[in-house]
Structure 1
Amino acid sequence: MTAAPAPVGRFAGVELGGTKVIVTLADGLDIVAQHSLATTTPDETLGAAVDRLADWNAQAPLSAIGIASFGPIRVDRAAPDYGIMLHTTKPGWSGAPVVGAFAARFGCPIGLDTDVNGAGIAEAALGAGRDCNTIVYLTIGTGIGGGVIVDGCPVVGRLHPEIGHVRLRRAGGDGFAGACAFHGDCIEGLVSGPALWARFGRDPATVDPADPAWDAVVSDLAELLVALMLTLSPDRIIVGGSVALGQPDLLARATERAAGWLMPYIGDYDVTAMSCIVVPPTLKQDAGPLGAVLLAVRAAQLGTPGVTSGLRSAALRDSAGQR
C-alpha cells in the first residue's frame, strides 16, 4: 500500500492541559514554532493562546487549528454544547467555551478532541503505536486520562472514555480513602500526582522506590493494566505523564504484577509479552503537540470551520504519511 503524501499547509495545534498549554505551529507535520503558557482562568488562558495563533496567522494564514483539551469536554459536533467544558475539578473551567474562543477569531477549520486522544493519535500514527490496530494511551500526572485508538481513530460514543475514573479492586489492607473530588478511590484518586501527595503526605518524588508504601500503588496500577487488557485487548498500552515517566520502576513493577495475574488465564500475557505491550511514548514531549496538529490536519480535510471533531475516519491515519 502506498503511503499518503505528507499534509501540506500551516497548521496550529493547541494542547490545552490542566497545568499548562502548548501552542504549536507546524509546516505540514514539522514543528516550526512553539509557545508554552500556564493554565489559569479560561479568559486569560484561551485569550493568550488565541493571541499567539493570531500572530502566526498574520504572518501567513493558518490552514486549520487543532485543539486537544483536558476534560471532560463535549466532542460531539452535533451536540448543542459542542466544544464546551463539562463539569470539571479545574476551578472556573466548567462551562468554558473552548472551541468558541477560537472560532470567534478564526475562519479556518477547527478540530477538537481530548488531550489524551490527541497524544494517542500521534503515537498511533508516528510513535510507539505505529502499525498497531488498537492502542490505549494513558497519561498519569495531575490526573489520569485515557484514550482508546482503533485503526488510527479515537473511540468516542456519548462522550469520550474516562478511564481515570473507573473504580477497581483495592489492595488488601490499603486504608487510603482516595483523593478524587468526585469518586474518592477511583484510579485517579489513588495514583495521580495529587493522590500520591495525599497518600504519602509529601512529594512522592522524595519517597524511596523501595518503600513498602509503594506496594499498594503498584497493585492499583496493575489492576488498571489488567482491566484494560481484558476489556480492550490492545496491542500497546502507552503510558506517559509526570508520575509514570518520573517513576519508571513503579510502572515496571505494575506490569510484572499484571502479567502474574493474567498468566493463569491467558498464557500469552507473560512478563516478556507485557513488557512489550506496556511501553512509554516514543514521541515523548511531542506526542501532545503533534496530536493537536494532526487534529488540525483532519479538520482541514473535512473543511468545516469551527465544528470539526468526531475523528472516525481512516483519513486521519493516512494524513500522517511518512513523516
Structure 2
Amino acid sequence: MTHAPLYGGIEAGGTKWVCAIGTGPDDIRAEVRFPTTTPAETLANAIAFFRAHEPEHLAAIGVGSFGPVDLNPASPSYGSITTTPKPGWAHTDVVRTLHQALGRPIGFDTDVNVALLGERQWGAARDCDVAVYITVGTGIGGGAVVGGKLVHGLIHPEMGHMRLVRDPARDPFPGICPYHSDCLEGLACGPALKARWQTPAEELPADHPAWELEADYLGQALANLLCILSPERIIIGGGVMSQPQMFPLVRAATQRWLNGYLQHPHILDHPDRLIVPPALGQRAGVLGAIALAMHTAGGV
C-alpha cells in the first residue's frame, strides 16, 4: 500500500517552538508547543516529538527560525542561528542536529519568510507575485516574496531594523534596540511599548495615545516597503497587531507617509486589500514550515 507523503513543520520562535505533522491547514495529524529554553533541551523536545509521531512516510521537515540565521548552503555554518542576542543560542546548528537525529531532509529559513510562504501557499498572498510579511511582537521581522520566490540575498531581510524618522518632541523615547536604538524594532516592538509607557501593550486601552504613535511608525515602515519592493500585499501579524483598532490606524498612517505619491486603487481606495492580517492567523508560522518541507521534498 502506498501512503501519501506527510511533512513536518517547526516554528522555532525565541519564546516557544511549535512542531506539527500534516499536509496543510485542514490536515494536521499531530502538534505540540513547548517553551524555548536551552538549545539542547529545545532541540531534544522537537526530536522527541517527531520520533514519537514519526510515520515512515514523513518526507521532510521545514524549520522557520528566529535569527539571524545562515541560509547560504555553501557556508560552513549553514542551518545555524548565528549572532542572535538570545542568551545561549548564538551559533546553534539547527539543521545538522535535526538531520542527524531524524534522517530527513531539513528545509531552513527565517520565521517570517516561512510564515509568508504559508500565506502564499494557503492564505492571504496566494494571488501575489510580490508580497511582504511583517510580524510585530517581541521583536519585529519581515520577509518578502519577489517573483514568487522568497528573498534571501546577502543574508536575509531584516526589515525590523530599518531606520525611521523619530520626532523627539513628539516621542522622546530613545528606543530599545541595542544596535540602533530607534529603528523600527527599537521603537515599535512589544517590549518598546512596555518600556515607553510603563505598561504591557496588551493592557493599554484602545484609546491610549500609544496606538496612534505605534501606527505612525508602522505606517512609515510600510510606506518605505511600498516604495522599495512595490508589494501587492502586506501581511502584518504578531501580538501587537491583535488590537482591533490597529489595522485602520496603520492603513491611514501609510497613506499619510506616502502623501499621494503612489497612485494605485489598493493604496488610495482599498487599503484593506493591500494591508491585511494573516489569513492563517497564529498558525501561519508552523503551516509555513510545513509548506517549506513540501518545497524541500519537491512536493510543490
Query: Into which bin does the TM-score normalised by the smaller protein fall?
Result: over 0.9
Match in the other structure for 2:197 = 200
Match in the other structure for 1:175 = 172
Distance between the aligned counterparts of 2:167 and 2:227, measured in 1?
Answer: 19
Match in the other structure for 1:122 = 118
Q: Which residue of 235, 238, 258 maps to 1:241?
A: 238
Distance between the aligned counterparts of 2:237 and 2:104, measured in 1?
Answer: 31
**Is residue 294 of structure 1 aligned with residue 261 of structure 2?**
no
Distance between the aligned counterparts of 2:4 and 2:132, measured in 1?
Answer: 28
Q: How far did 1:290 drift?
A: 1.1
- Compared with structure 1, are the counterparts of its residues 171 and 82 closer, same or farther at alpha carbon in structure 2 (3 Å cutoff)? same
**Does the Cα contact within 8 Å between 1:8 and 1:27 map onto a contact in 2?**
no
How many residues get paired? 295
Paired amino acid for 2:92: A
Match in the other structure for 1:155 = 151
Q: How far did 1:248 drift?
A: 2.9
Q: How far did 1:276 drift?
A: 1.5
What RMSD in Å do the two structures reach over aligned CA positions? 1.8
3-state SS of paired residue (1:258): helix
Cα deviation digits, residues 2-59 of structure 1 (max 9, x gap): xxxxx940211111001110000114672111000001111111111111111122x4
**Does the Cα contact within 8 Å between 2:16 and 2:34 map onto a contact in 1?**
yes
**Does the Cα contact within 8 Å between 1:50 and 1:101 map onto a contact in 2?**
no
Distance between the aligned counterparts of 2:133 and 2:252, measured in 1?
Answer: 19
**Is residue 50 of structure 1 aligned with residue 37 of structure 2?**
no
Cα deviation digits, residues 210-251 of structure 1 (max 9, x gap): 22343322221111111011111100000001011x223123
Q: How far did 1:73 drift?
A: 0.5
TM-score (norm 2): 0.93
Q: Which has the higher contact order (CA 8 A, sep 6+)?
A: 1
Match in the other structure for 1:215 = 212
Cα deviation digits, residues 125-156 of structure 1 (max 9, x gap): 21111111110011111111100012432111
Q: Unpaired segments of 5 or more residues in structure 2?
A: none
Distance between the aligned counterparts of 1:36 and 1:186, measured in 2?
Answer: 31
Paired amino acid for 1:238: I
Distance between the aligned counterparts of 1:106 and 1:72, measured in 2?
Answer: 24
Q: Unpaired segments of 5 or more residues in structure 1?
A: 1-6, 302-315
**Is residue 100 of structure 1 aligned with residue 96 of structure 2?**
yes
3-state SS of paired residue (1:103): helix
**Does the Cα contact within 8 Å between 2:267 and 2:274 map onto a contact in 1?**
no
**Does the Cα contact within 8 Å between 1:168 and 1:223 map onto a contact in 2?**
yes
Distance between the aligned counterparts of 2:146 and 2:70, measured in 1?
Answer: 20
- Compared with structure 1, are the counterparts of its residues 259 and 26 closer, same or farther at alpha carbon in structure 2 (3 Å cutoff)? same
Identity of aligned residues (%): 42
**Does the Cα contact within 8 Å between 2:64 and 2:110 map onto a contact in 1?**
yes
Match in the other structure for 1:140 = 136
**Does the Cα contact within 8 Å between 1:89 and 1:181 map onto a contact in 2?**
no
Paired amino acid for 2:94: V
3-state SS of paired residue (2:271): helix
**Is residue 281 of structure 1 aligned with residue 278 of structure 2?**
yes
3-state SS of paired residue (2:70): coil
Distance between the aligned counterparts of 2:281 and 2:246, measured in 1?
Answer: 18
**Does the Cα contact within 8 Å between 2:9 and 2:293 map onto a contact in 1?**
yes
Match in the other structure for 1:3 = none
Paired amino acid for 1:265: Y
Q: How far did 1:198 drift?
A: 0.6
Distance between the aligned counterparts of 2:153 and 2:245, measured in 1?
Answer: 35
Distance between the aligned counterparts of 2:50 and 2:260, measured in 1?
Answer: 53
3-state SS of paired residue (1:248): coil
**Does the Cα contact within 8 Å between 1:56 and 1:62 map onto a contact in 2?**
no
Paired amino acid for 1:281: P
**Does the Cα contact within 8 Å between 1:179 and 1:195 map onto a contact in 2?**
yes
Distance between the aligned counterparts of 2:216 and 2:178, measured in 1?
Answer: 22
3-state SS of paired residue (2:53): helix
**Does the Cα contact within 8 Å between 1:221 and 1:251 map onto a contact in 2?**
no
Paired amino acid for 2:158: E
